[in-house]
Structure 1
Amino acid sequence: MLPPASAVADVLQLRGLRGWLSPPLLPVHRAAAVRGEARTVLLAPGPGPEGLKPLHRLLDEDLGGRVVVVAGAEAAEGAVWGEILTLAARNAGVVGALVEGGARDVGAVRELGLPLWALYEATAGPGPLVHVAAMGEPVSVAGVRIADGDTILMDEGGVVAVPDPEVLADAAAYATAEEAVAAALREGAPMAAAYRHKADIVAALRAGAPGTLHAGSPAN
């Protein structure tokens, strides 16, 4: 089972790292936990030789298990993602999409069920003054570097880029500890006593000992 995106974000934060993308990305359609490998696309201002056609061709490829990450989409006049690209992405096996710019057709996207996070909702299309500048290259979204193939975790609570597998293992242990805190509070324990279930894991992560925790670790 995947740890919550919030637990991954907390682990990164405790390690002094970044990786969470929400905010500024906002949910167009939230879904249960999805893990996929990034397929990066970089947009840039200007008409370009082919406009957005390389993105359209990408969605004709086999993208099973991929999360399409469209960086630089703020360069467009309006939305660069909507119902049509969602349909194409779903047909290609895409498990989610991140758009650093506008999205539209929100109702249709939600009905189609593909997890989609974007900066904002837009009414108009992308317009002619934007083009695909690179594909499969490292990009920056909200100040977070994402390379093609990096792990992206999306769930109802947010979206985060995972820099290495140890983060997921530590986040699973962290989430288990948080569940123990919540259970203790439901039983009427005071906050100081309940938080002890989580204190050791927080201290270990702050000490910069990545990978020393693991799923199923006892919450002390």
Structure 2
Amino acid sequence: MPDEAIGTSARRAGAAETSPGISTPGITRPDPGVVARLRAIGTATISGELNRLGVRSAAITGPVPRTPGATVAGPALTLQCLPKREDLALADEYADPERSLHRHVLYHARPGDVVVVDARGDLESGIFGEMMLTYFAAQGGVGVVVDGCIRDFGSASRLGIGLWLRGTTPNFHSQTALMPHAVNVPVACGGTTVVPGDVVVADDDGAVVVPIALAEAVAERAEEHLEWEEFSRTRLAAGGDLRRYYPLTEAARPEYEAWRRSRAEQQQGAQRAEQREERR
């Protein structure tokens, strides 16, 4: 059964038989409109708003941006790794490959998804390489956050997906200290709990995790925050007083409200002009 996108009436996707005899759970996907709004906001503002909503720190610590300028937001597909035990892990990279669960998290990929990997901070195991990430990109995946390493970084970085990593290595996934253990279960990535389906937003500051139940509230609060910051930025750039404009003080609020009204009128005028042009 394939994973399905959902709207406000969330429901859990069932398990999918990702290979004959192997089933792994699907995820609940958030409203794509909310995801798009979060992507436009950015991680710094989201982190602050989550803190004000009671989530002390939503930032994933350790993985850093390796594809400068990339900004992604999408539901989390999760992969959990454990310390390798030789009687449970494959010794050969290509022996019975469908037993390797790092493949199976990618089989759930849909357009806009982000894979989050609990690789225990390990710097010797390349969880994914170019070939598997090529597959992920072709399914519409947009980003990968690994508390550990990938390999084939040079080629992988040119696939058009965002990469947030602790490092890189020539080794394959189970060559040294790790083995993939579970797909789409809650994981700890960089000291932060990630539940399958949570919205992961990542940019040049790093990656943050928005709990799916808070996504709408975070988007609403963060959009309001961005608006007053835009106003304050214009005033600060013109030489305004930092103490007055950042954060926005009550003394500056009437000025801000007038700016909002003026901007709304300008936007409405521009829309009417566009409509007149379309009717010609």
CA distance in 2 between partners of 1:31 and 1:67 (Å): 17
Aligned equivalent of 2:58: 19
| Between structures 1 and 2, the one with greater strand share | 1
Q: Does the 8 A contact of 1:28 with 1:106 survive in 2?
A: no
Gaps of 5+ in 2: 1-36, 91-98, 251-259, 262-280
Q: Secondary structure at the match of 1:160?
A: strand
Report the RMSD for the aligned CA atoms in angstroms. Answer: 2.5
Aligned length: 200
Rounded to whole Å, the distance in 1 between the matches of 2:42 and 2:120 is 27
What does residue range 72-83 of structure 1 map to in structure 2 within 5 Å? Answer: 72-75=119-122, 77-83=124-130
Does the 8 A contact of 1:65 with 1:94 survive in 2? Answer: yes
Of 192, 196, 199, which aligns to 1:144? 192
Distance 2:47 2:87 in 1: 36
Query: What is the aligned partner in structure 1 of residue 104 from structure 2?
Result: 57
Deviations along 1:94-115, one digit per CA (max 9) or x if unpaired, are 1111101112333222211111
Q: Where in structure 1 are there 5+ consecutive unaligned residues?
A: 201-215
Task: Judge which range, 166-175 or 43-52, deviates more.
Answer: 43-52
Q: For 1:64, what is the secondary structure of its paired residue? A: coil
Task: Describe how 1:75-154 pairs up with structure 2 within 5 A.
Answer: 75=122, 77-126=124-173, 127-154=175-202
CA distance in 1, matches of 2:226, 2:233: 11
TM-superposition CA deviations, 1:145-186 (whole Å, max 9, x none): 111111111223321100212112211221222222221111
After superposition, the Cα gap between the structure-2 partners of 1:134 and 1:188, relative to the gap in structure 1 and judged at 3 Å, is same
Give, as a single letter, the amino acid of the residue that structure 1 aligns with 2:218.
V
Return the alpha-carbon distance in structure 2 between the equivalents of residues 45 and 111 of structure 1: 30
Give, as a single letter, the amino acid of the residue that structure 2 aligns with 1:35. Answer: A
Normalised by the length of structure 2, the TM-score is 0.64
Report the Cα offset of residue 58 of structure 1.
3.3
The alpha-carbon deviation at position 56 of structure 1 amounts to 1.4
Structure-2 separation of matches of 1:35 and 1:15: 20
Asked which structure has the greater RCO (Cα within 8 Å, sep 6+), the reply is: 1
Task: From the superposition, tell whether residues 57 and 37 of structure 1 become closer, same or farther in structure 2 (CA, over 3 Å).
Answer: same
**Does the 8 A contact of 1:45 with 1:76 survive in 2?**
no
Distance 1:105 1:155 in 2: 22
Q: Which has the larger radius of gyration?
A: 2
Secondary structure, counterpart of 1:81 in structure 2 = coil
Q: Partner amino acid for 2:47? A: A
Residue number in structure 2 paired with 1:29 = 67
TM-score normalised per structure 1: 0.79
Identical aligned pairs, as a percentage?
24
Residue pairs, 1:135-174, within 5 angstroms: 135-163=183-211, 164-165=214-215, 166-174=217-225
Give the CA deviation at 1:70: 0.8
Give 1:130 shift.
Answer: 2.1
Would the alpha carbon gap of residues 141 and 74 (structure 1) be closer, same or farther in structure 2, given more than 3 Å must change? same
